Each structure stands twice: as structure tokens, then as C-alpha cells.
Structure 1
Amino acid sequence: MNTTQTQTTEELRFQVNGHQIAAKCWGDRNATPVLALHGWLDNAATFNRLAPQLRGVRLIALDLMGHGFSDHRPASMPYYIWDNVMDVLGVADQLGLTRFSLLGHSMGASIATLIAGAFPERVEKLVLIEGIAPLVTEPEDAATQLAAAIKKRIRLQGREAKAYSDFDAAVNARMNGRWPVDAEAATWLVERSIEQRSGGYYWRSDANLILPSVMRMSEPQVESFLTRVTAATLLILGDNGIPQSDRRIALLRNIRTEQLAGGHHLHLEEQAAGLIATLINEFDLV
């Protein structure tokens, strides 16, 4: 049964560090604001199914830099996950939020944890869906990581972007990606991620997002963030999602973990989204 409620949405735009960051909002303007962060190559529409079922909050879902309707980073600048921390804080500052709660999926969950570890005084509560902290590279592998990333960047320079013949072809591609979603969810994501130009339909997201990371943190560095998190945390995992580290979970001092039937994008699955909404409503972000 579809439990999604009808709710007014609003588009916002922020100017942060000289760049535009777009956002999609649900909920009453006077309700408690919660910032929502999507996963890699997704966008704010990833919360379309979940957001209308949340009670008492104004969910402000960002298009992270390079995604959705937000600007791309400069062409010469790699996408480092930690750069999103300053972007999110910039949005929070413009909203006048001294303390706030964060909802993140996958990469967005990792960004949320970095913020909560670096600035524990600013984060009230965390809801993490299918993610805890960033991928890592151990110190002994840093040189080969850098070399591989640069070689691929050089190899892909000047390559033409792939065009889709029509909108439905792009939706079909998104439905059958590495982490499949249903037709409705794929349509939501594609609507915010594609543009029509001469020759067909093209992804609006920055092609540089698919390049390997030039540099990553090590596991001890990531753990130093986790040990500083003071926010009460709700971690929601899918039984067919991405396995998470028990050690990382244990380092979060005030955490409740729930596992539901579903895949990596379980918040976009109709049945799981309703269950996730119930858990979040009980967690009380208000």
C-alpha cells in the first residue's frame, strides 16, 4: 500500500563559496529544519518517497555540488568528499541554523558523519541510511591511488558525453544501474539529472564525479571522526544493501541500528520507505 502523503514542495537556491547549491524542500516553513544529503550520482529527488511521510520537520534536501541543479566544481578541481562539509555548513549558516539534524543516504551519510565528527557542537541528531563513513585508502596504497586517478583523468580528457535518444532511455538506464530502482524512482532522479541538448539527452551531473578519488583518508583518520560524534544516531541498513563495518558502528557512542528488507536504495522502495519513515518519526528529529 502506498502510504506517501501529498505535501507541498519548494525549490531553494543558495550561494555558497561562489557556487550555487540547489535544494528541494518538503514540510511547513515553520517546522524543524533537517538537512538531507543524497548518495553518489543521485540528487535531492532521492527523498521523494520518504520525505512526505516525515512528521513535524521541514526536510531540506540538497543537490550536492556536481549533482542535480547545483553547480559543478571547477574543471581542474577533484571531487573530495570532505569539501561537501564546508558546502553543507554554508547552507546551514544561510538558514541561520546553529544546531541541526542531518539525514544522509550512502555518500550523504558519510558526509553527515564527517560534519558531526568535525563539528559535534552543531549536529543534534543523525539518521544514516546505508552508509556510515567514507571509503578509505591505507597509507601504503596512497601513491598507487594517486597514479591510477591521474591516469584515468588523462585517458578520459576530451571524451564526448554519452547521449540518450529520449528521456525514457535515460530512465531505463537508471533503473538498471549498479543499484537498481523502480520506474517511478528512476523518473524522479532522471528529471533532476538530465538536460536536452542538440543530439539528445545528457546527464547534467559532472562527468568528473565518476573519476577515481585522487586521495582518500585512511581508516584511522575516519575513525577519528567517528569517535568525536556526540549526536544520537539512527543507522538504517538494507538486508541486500552494502555491508557496513561493525567496528565503525561500535565507535559511534550513541547509536541505534535497524535492518530492513531492501537494497541499497531502500528509502526509494515503497514498502521500506514507509518503515523508514516510522523509525525516523519515532527517533524524533523535532
Structure 2
Amino acid sequence: MTGCCEYISSSKRGLTKEIEILVPWGIIAGKVLGDSTNPPVLCIHGWLDNCNTFDNLIPMLPKDNFFVFIDLPGHGLSSHLPPGMFYSKDHYVFVVDQIANYFSWATFNLLGHSLGGIISVFYAGTFPEKVDKTICLDGVVYVNEYIDGLDKPDVQWLKGRIQYYNTLNKKKPKKTTYDKLRQRLLDRNFGLKSVEIADALLERGCKKMEDGYVFRHDIRQSTNSFIDVSYNTGLQFVSNIKAESLVIHGHDGVMQRSVPKELRSFVSSSLEQSFRHSEFYQGVVVQGGHYLHLDAPERIISLLTSFLNRPIRSGLRLELPISKL
């Protein structure tokens, strides 16, 4: 593989259709799958990824839903924010609402991986009446700050963000060969080991210049700029969710990397307790890493299908294995 355009994506195989949604700062790019009259599912990728993260799931997804896969602002083929703007949870919640308004969805479902799962929690906790079902793949709320005993106040966060942004004027994207860019992607993302998967993400995630390749993502995304709340605050958003919720953790995923072994049971119990207002909650641990939906989609597709197909607010329990972190 010598160029990022050589990867044959699902959209190029005709399974999905490319879309562009106009927003005040430019466009949100993405793909759609299925009949738009079916129950909608908005699919949100992880940090520094793009909507191709769902490509291996696409051929397996249930046919009686309408799936919308987006590139978040500053990722993939979507527009970057104007200079001087911050990427934050507030903006991502606004983006989700813009998309819901674009499609005129009264209610809809959310499927998010990693950062996408965190955004799904923030949105469903902000607008509980608008979300029927929420699926989080190896990402619910950020835990490092809580584990470290830090409830970072807004003032500290804002000062650090402004200082970081002020240094960006001196930085420019580093051009390199496609192979080296791919290796940088593999080195950066823990659990991402497959060259084929890296190529899938780079199809929308890199750009060819005259003298090399660069990542497409906004350089302002190079830090965890979306992490502007503490773990405890994140749980408050979770506790406000009324949507039926399915949380799938990879056995070797982000929770296992972020949470000391002796605290995993506590964190798992905290999450389950925080979902107490949800119409339904199921937490499952599946063999796999952070990119379990790309590495082994067959391990989770039955869970996704069963959850999406179950009647809304039926009160019925899913026949799923329950595991502790």
C-alpha cells in the first residue's frame, strides 16, 4: 500500500453513500447506510479517528435501521473549527444536535466508540428525551483524572488550554511518507495493530501533498481537548440518561489501561449505579482491545443487533453475559 486512496472503503463498494451536512463553520462529512425512514442510529468515532472506524461492522449491521456515520469536526473530511475556537464537549453536543435537526429526528439512537461513547453520554445526559438507545464501545466517561484524585476546576483547564493553543502558531503539520504516517498512527493508538485497519482510517485521515503526506485532523486535536470535566462530573451526565444503554468494554481496552486492577470493580459498580435512571442498562466485557469493533466485529454484532432490535422501553432483559471489569 503506497497511498491512502488505495484502500477500498465501504462507500466505494456501494454499501454506503457519502454525505455532507452544512454547519455554520463548514461541513460535517460522513456516510449513510439503509432506509432513512427506519429508526436512525448516529455513529460517532473515537479521538483522531474518522467514520471509517465502523467499516468492518457495516456489512453486518441490521437492515432495519438507518445508520449515519460522521467525521467529527477537525477529523477526517469534516471542516476544522475557525482559528481561535476550542474543541470541547459543549461543541460536540452542539454538533450532534445539528445533525439530529438536519435529519428532523424527534428521537434517535447513538453508537459511539471511545470519544464517540463519551460524546454520546454527554448528549444523552443533556437531552434525555431525544435519545432512545445509547451504545458505548470501550468508552463511557474519562477516568484518569478521577483515579489520580484530581477534580480539575474549569479555571485550571482553561488556562492550560489557552497556553497550549498559543503554542500552535509555531507548529505546522509534519510531512512524511505514507508508510511512516501509517506507522505513526499505529504507534499512537494503543490496541491498533492491523495495517489494514490503519489504511482504512487513513483513507479519510490523511492528505497527499506535493512532497509527502500529512494527517487531515486539526492540529488542535493533538491534545485531549475534549476532556474538560472530571470523572465525577461525567457520572452526573450518565445519571441523567434515560435512554436504554448498552456498554461494551474490550477485555484489553481503555478501562483496563486506565484503571488500576484493584479499582476496576469499584469503577464498574459506579458506572452501573450511575445508569440507574436509564430505562435499561447492560454492561458487557468482550474479548478484544480498544478497537474490538474493527479487529473482531463478529464478537459484538449479535449484541448490537439484539439491543437495537429489542422493543423500546419494553422492560425486557437481554440475554447477555455479564462480566466484571
Structure 1 equivalent of residue 263 of structure 2: none
8 Å Cα contact 1:7/1:26 also seen in 2? no
Partner of 2:73: 65
Equivalent residue in structure 2 for 1:152, among 134, 140, 164: 164
Measured in 1, the distance between the counterparts of 2:185 and 2:308 equals 33
Counterpart among 46, 50, 71 of residue 43 in structure 1: 50
Q: Aligned residue for 1:124?
A: 132
Matched with 1:235 is 247
CA RMSD, Structure 1 to Structure 2 (Å): 2.3
Alignment partner of 1:106 is 2:117? no
Indicate yes or no: 2:85 matched with 1:85.
Answer: no
3-state secondary structure, aligned to 2:141: coil
Deviates further, 79-88 or 105-114: 79-88
Residues in 2 aligned to 1:139 and 1:284: alpha-carbon distance in whole angstroms = 35
What TM-score does the superposition give when structure 2 sets the normalisation length? 0.79
Match of 1:256 in 2: 282
Q: Secondary structure at the match of 1:151?
A: helix
* Equivalent position of 1:52 in the other structure: 59
- The corresponding residue for 2:313 is none
1:189 correspondence with 2:201? yes
Q: Secondary structure at the match of 1:160?
A: coil
How much has 1:76 moved relative to structure 2?
Answer: 0.6
Structure-2 change in CA distance of 1:261 and 1:199 (3 Å):
same
Q: Report what 1:284 is aligned to.
A: 308
Letter in 1 for 2:91: D
Determine the C-alpha separation between the residues in 1 that align with 2:153 and 2:285: 33
Letter in 2 for 1:262: G
Aligned counterpart in structure 2 of residue 161 of structure 1, from 173, 186, 196: 173
AA aligned opposite 1:199: D
Kept in 2, the 8 Å contact 1:7–1:52? The answer is: no
- After TM superposition, the structure 1 stretch with the greater mean CA deviation from structure 2, 9-18 or 139-148, is 139-148
Cα distance in 1 for residues equivalent to 2:226 and 2:198:
30
Percent identity at matched positions?
A: 30
Match of 1:11 in 2: 18
Of residues 210, 214, 223 in structure 2, which corresponds to 1:198? 210
Question: 1:159-198: CA deviations, max 9, x gaps?
Answer: 2211122x33322332333322311111110010111123
| Cα offset, 1:149, TM superposition | 3.2
Deviates more, 1:211-220 or 1:60-69: 211-220
Q: Distance in 1 between matches of 2:105 and 2:142?
A: 25
Quick check: 1:109–1:128 contact (8 Å CA) kept in 2?
yes
> Is 2:141–2:231's contact at 8 Å kept on the other side of the alignment?
no
- 2:183, 2:44 → 1: CA distance? 24
Cα separation, 2, equivalents of 1:151 and 1:24: 36
CA contact (8 A) 1:65 1:73 kept: yes
How far apart in 2 are the matches of 1:181 and 1:33? Answer: 31
Distance 2:272 2:18 in 1: 34
Displacement of 1:7 after TM fit?
6.3
Structure 1 unpaired stretches of 5+: none
Cα distance change on mapping 1:215 and 1:230 into 2, 3 Å: closer
Contact map agreement 2:30 2:70 (CA 8 A) in 1: yes
Between Structure 1 and Structure 2, which shows a larger proportion of helix residues?
2
